[in-house]
Amino acid sequence: MRRSGRLRQVKRVDYNVDRAFKRIAERAGMTEQEVFGDPKPQKITRRQANGKRRVAPPAGRHPGRRRPSRRLATVPESAVPDPGQADWERTQRRIWAEVLGLDSPADRVQKIVERRGKPDGAVPTVEIGREPMSGKRKHLLFMNPGDKPIRDAIEALHYGRPMPAWTRNFRNQLSLGDGQLLWNEEGQARPLPLWTKAEKRDNVKLLYYDPAKPSTILPITLSLRDKAANVSRSNATHILRSLKQYQLTFRRRLPANITEKTLYRSPGIIAADTFYPSDKEPYNWHGKFAVLAIMDVWSRFSRAYVCEDKRAETVGKGIEKFLTEFASISPVPSRRFICDKGSELAAAQPLMERYRQDRDGDKELVLRSVTGKPVNIIEGMNAQYQRRMIIYRTVTDDPSMILDDISEALNHQGRPKRMGLSPVQLLQLTRSQREVVNSSNDDTDLKPPRGLKPLAIGSTVRVLLMNRKEQLTGKLKGFAPKWSDTEYTVLRRRRMRRNPAMMKYDLGLTDWYYRHELLKIPKVTDDEVFNMIPEGKRQNIITTGEDWHVDEEWVPEDPDDVRDIDDEKDPHPYG
């Protein structure tokens, strides 16, 4: 490439990595050989006349050739290469350490060892993971022999009788010593005894009530693994759950809302509500209209009517129009009307009287929300209409131009939970066909919380002392006892009407309780407490220094940290 006269006068700058190290070596007073070391012999691959490759040793450097790149240099023969290191780690890292005056990793480890007073060459090690357990011992923990099998084995070894059947696979591991059955295993420091149930319970309680020892299931199991051969995790679990103190502080569950769902099996239940398209940013809908959304709950057949205002007379015309259309296509007439306490839906009362039947008697045909809360089923339909409206907002700002088409699209859209039938098709079904559709949707039952064992009549339980509000707000803090001190027995149980998988239990009290409000406990509770705290022992308590006096003058370092000493209302003017 030709260069202009101006560029030829500019000094070339080599940005190659090799040149950068050369500059560093020059500044540090090192030679190029010390930086790069001996060049590594490279294999030169050439093509023969027949097209095959021929590998030849590298020839001497030709005067007219450029020196090959030496990024990958070999380690001097004096150094021992580490097979786990790359070439740049063997050379360049060492060079940087020498230039910057850094220690090698081995030197840093040696300094740490010397600082800790350990002998030369001793490197601190950390064991990762748990100690492996042999298959024989796992088999022993799985069998979990009780007191009688252990006594039979001790008598057989003592009197020379045949060993029990459960010891058939452990003939080389069992022995007798000091009246105890011992477990011997290769690689084990000492024989481990096989404890009885009482010994397991006492040792677990000694750890649980000792503040310097573990108090949960897995740490206790691991601590006792080196003391006895037959302490399993399930043993520690059963023992801890039988302790009264462990029961009172046991964790509690907060499941989902347990409410009996209302299942609709035929059309005729009408729900209605109004929403108001906003004329503000970022919606910018034209006008201030009130949209009446009205639907049949079972089939989800719906209509949306744009009203000029939200007066009861105006909205009532939309309700009357829907009831007339629904009566013309539905085999079941309108039976009930569900809405909130909005005054704009007051016209529904006289309109529904037209559909009163003799069997209704004096019952209310318009069911308004008792607590004033919205009706969820129609609120979901409102949201569906508004989601569809926002799609076409870029085309028009008049809701009346698109709501009729949106309602038609929703009424002819298949419903997966109704066997893929659309609302219009559902209203055309006969009574027997509706039963088939209803039977295909059986996944509405609530399930009890996972991990809780079922309660039978006669089970012993404790009652949760917290209601749902206290659980959500965290009123009881500090891991206080949350289960009743009194033990109860399950007397009766019954399934919920709409959710047969959920049960309520009678304990002879005023209320019935759900499963998550009861803690299943063993019939016999261990209320014996071990006092493992030495008498008179006190922890280190931080107190105020003896040389500190209130009268000493205090000068704030931060100008904003100024106390009002003259404030009479401040009970602690000096902090």
CA 97, 99, 101: angle at the middle one, nearest 5? Answer: 60
pLDDT at 563: 46
> Is the pLDDT reported for residue 37 higher than 80?
no
Give residue for tokens 């079922």. Answer: 454
Residue pLDDT, tens place only, 461-478: 999 988 777 777 766 666
pLDDT band at 188 (very low <50, low <70, confident <90, very high): confident
pLDDT at 76: 46
Taking alpha carbons only, the member of 545, 556, 565, 566 closest to residue 574 is 565
Q: Are 22 and 15 in contact (CB under 8 A)?
A: no
Taking alpha carbons only, the member of 443, 442, 415 closest to residue 429 is 415
- As given in the structure block, the two tokens for residue 225 are 């693994």
Element (H, E) at 220: helix 217-224
pLDDT at 50: 55
> Is the pLDDT reported for residue 70 higher than 50?
no
* 243 vs 535, higher pLDDT: 243
Residue pLDDT, tens place only, 110-124: 777 676 665 555 555
pLDDT at 565: 46
How far apart are alpha carbons 452 and 523 in whole angstroms?
Answer: 17
**Mean of the pLDDT values across residues 341-359?**
91
Give residue for tokens 């989902």. Answer: 256
Element (H, E) at 112: helix 105-115
Q: Are 289 and 306 in contact (CB under 8 A)?
A: yes
- As given in the structure block, the two tokens for residue 197 are 């149930």
How far apart are alpha carbons 227 and 221 in whole angstroms?
Answer: 10
> Is the pLDDT reported for residue 573 higher than 70?
no
Angstrom distances, CA of residue 551 to CA of 59, 556, 573, 574: 90, 15, 12, 9
> Is the pLDDT reported for residue 334 higher than 90?
yes
- Say whether 534 sits in a helix, a strand or coil: coil
For 173-260, strand residue ranges (E) read 174-177, 180-183, 192-193
pLDDT band at 390 (very low <50, low <70, confident <90, very high): confident
Please provide the average confidence, as pLDDT, over all residues in the chain.
79
Sign of the CA dihedral running 168, 174, 176, 180: negative
Give all domains of the chain, ordered by start, each with its CATH number: 16-42+67-121 (no CATH), 135-248 (1.10.340.70), 269-439 (3.30.420.10), 460-520 (no CATH)
**DSSP bridge pairs for 483:** 464
pLDDT band at 537 (very low <50, low <70, confident <90, very high): confident
Out of 95-99, 235-239, 403-407, least confident range: 95-99
Most confident stretch, 2-11, 251-260, 287-296, 563-572? 287-296
Residue pLDDT, tens place only, 206-239: 999 888 888 889 999 999 999 999 999 999 999 9
Out of 9-18, 301-310, 383-392, 548-557, least confident range: 548-557
pLDDT at 574: 43
How far apart are alpha carbons 385 and 370 in whole angstroms?
Answer: 26
pLDDT at 292: 93
- Say whether 413 sits in a helix, a strand or coil: coil
- As given in the structure block, the two tokens for residue 511 are 């209320």
Percent of the chain with pLDDT over 90: 38
Tell how far CA 128 is from the center of its chain.
Answer: 26
pLDDT at 122: 56
pLDDT at 44: 47
Most confident stretch, 64-68, 125-129, 320-324? 320-324
